[in-house]
Structure 1
Amino acid sequence: MVAAHPDDEVLGFGGALALLADAGIRPVLVSVTDGEASHPGSRSPLARELAAVRRRELHQALSRLRARVHRIALHLPDSGVARHEQDLTGRLARLLDGYDLCVAPYSRDLHPDHEAAGRAALAAAAASGVPVWEYPVWAWHWARPADPALPWHRAARIPLTPAAHARKQAALDCFRSQVKPLGDRPGDEAILPPEELAHFQSDFEVIWQ
């Protein structure tokens, strides 16, 4: 599984990760960036420590999902993945060798890092002959119901068990740097306020096949 930032994998596919854990499957999680640039306008001291904060949040979230993953952190620059897309494609192609499926950010998510990571995953998977499931994250912010800009003909619904759903909600609570303001100054605002977080609190997840 590929995630552009720590929290994308839980937002878009966390319930499925919980289901995989229940099935005894241990996936590889490739964290492309550390998410250090989520608050570029903030002057909070916490903003200078976001890489470490978000790594800790992800570790706690995966624990709450009970997801046993082999995590590989690439430490590419947050907000700059596109500049490293060719290198990322090559690294993902090597990692995909021997795997049956790649799960990656939606390549038309309208977030530059998500799109670059998604394009790299699609190219790497095509070279390896591995199918790809794309999960939307940012698309839920800008799309409307039945939005023709989204590829609904490729959509698949992953229903979550009550236990997997509950674990995903507990995992989402771990990302305090994203769901709570860093402070009370301009630039400190939550990246995922309640109205945005609500998109990820359903008892199912959607992927594009």
Structure 2
Amino acid sequence: DDETLCCAGVIQRVLRSGGRASVVWITSGDASVLDLLIEGGPFGGAGRLRELAEKRMLEALRATSRLGVPAAGQLFLGYPDRGVSRLLTDHRATPYTSRFTDAAAVPYSAALFPAHPYTGESLERDFGAVLERVRPTLILAPSPRDTHPDHRAAGQLTIAVTARHGLLGSIRYWIVHGGEGWPSPRGLMPGVPLTAAPRSRGLTLAVFPLEPAEEDRKLEALRAYDTQLRTIAPFMLAFVRSTELFARLPGRDLP
């Protein structure tokens, strides 16, 4: 859902201007135990979490299709939810096994590279292959200051791999989990600007203004994420605002 929360306005504007847009999802939400508890029925363990990930991927396809992203630009890598930082540190060469899905390799047929091992080296190769395929001029990536461990790791991954491809200056950074109580106020408040996250302090933020029609389409896309709206709707809807915020630099790490 992060591409819609933080980047839906930019995606729409790029496409309307005749540009190309692609979205790459590093993980597929297969550690979302709370969603299964809310759905009810037997927990089912690893199998049900993989089924949830398949559902999440379908929701992501619907959301980005509503923004105008073509099928060729909807790219899933299928790496382990809540495990990306482990891949980039102590599992660079040895496969990591997800404690949620029991998988040690990409288990999803819809992924770009099914069966690739859960290692940092494999993730970096796959991400590099996406860059070669897409050849982006603008990259919107999670900030290493985000409090979600997968977001921080994805930001660090983006910095490392884009640097090797000479694209480091093309990154603009967004934050989803930006500090206690943010975004504030919670809930749907169209037409109201998004305030800066506490964890973006010290960073110069570019403000991207959304037109009312872009804001409406962003909400329409966000409503595709049914599984998550059932658990964190006030948080997610708080990103449907009249602006989106991006930092040119990642900034120094915060605790």
- Give the TM bin, normalised by the shorter chain: 0.7 to 0.9
Give distance in 1, aligned partners of 2:199 and 2:224: 31
Query: 1:163 and 1:31, CA in 2 relative to 1: closer, same or farther beyond 3 A?
Result: same
**Match for 2:57: what amino acid?**
R
Residue in 2 that maps onto 1:108: 145
**Match for 2:147: what amino acid?**
L
Relative to its length, the structure with more strand (as a share) is: 1
Give the 4+ runs in structure 1 shifted more than 6 A. Answer: none
- Tell which has more relative contact order, 1 or 2 (C-alpha 8 A, sep 6+): 1
Asked whether the 8 Å contact 1:20–1:67 carries over to 2, the reply is no
SS at match of 1:139: coil
**In angstroms, what is the RMSD of aligned CA positions?**
2.4
Asked whether the 8 Å contact 2:178–2:198 carries over to 1, the reply is no
Q: Does 1:15 align with 2:54?
A: no
Larger Rg: 2
Asked whether the 8 Å contact 2:56–2:227 carries over to 1, the reply is yes
TM-score normalised by structure 2 residue count:
0.67
Asked whether the 8 Å contact 2:178–2:199 carries over to 1, the reply is no
Query: 1:193 and 1:103, CA in 2 relative to 1: closer, same or farther beyond 3 A?
Result: same
Give distance in 2, aligned partners of 1:18 and 1:119: 26
Q: Does 1:82 align with 2:117?
A: no
Q: Does 1:59 align with 2:51?
A: no
Q: Does 1:157 align with 2:207?
A: yes
Residue in 1 that maps onto 2:220: 170
SS at match of 1:200: coil
Identity across the alignment (%) = 32
Residue in 2 that maps onto 1:139: 178
Query: 1:63 and 1:71, CA in 2 relative to 1: closer, same or farther beyond 3 A?
Result: closer
Give distance in 2, aligned partners of 1:174 and 1:141: 26
Give distance in 2, aligned partners of 1:41 and 1:159: 33
Structure 2 segments unaligned to the other structure (5+ residues): 89-119, 185-194, 249-255
Moved more, 18-27 or 166-175: 18-27
Instruction: Please point out which of 119, 123, 128 is paired with 1:93.
Output: 128
Residue in 2 that maps onto 1:126: 163
Residue in 1 that maps onto 2:26: 32
Give distance in 2, aligned partners of 1:30 and 1:119: 15
Give distance in 1, aligned partners of 2:42 and 2:141: 29
- Pairs aligned (count): 192
Structure 1 segments unaligned to the other structure (5+ residues): 1-6, 181-189
Give distance in 1, aligned partners of 2:35 and 2:136: 40
TM superposition shift of 1:174: 1.0
Asked whether the 8 Å contact 1:151–1:208 carries over to 2, the reply is no
Give distance in 2, aligned partners of 1:118 and 1:26: 22
Give distance in 1, aligned partners of 2:179 and 2:223: 19
Query: 1:155 and 1:78, CA in 2 relative to 1: closer, same or farther beyond 3 A?
Result: same
SS at match of 1:164: helix
**Match for 1:76: what amino acid?**
Y
TM superposition shift of 1:120: 0.1
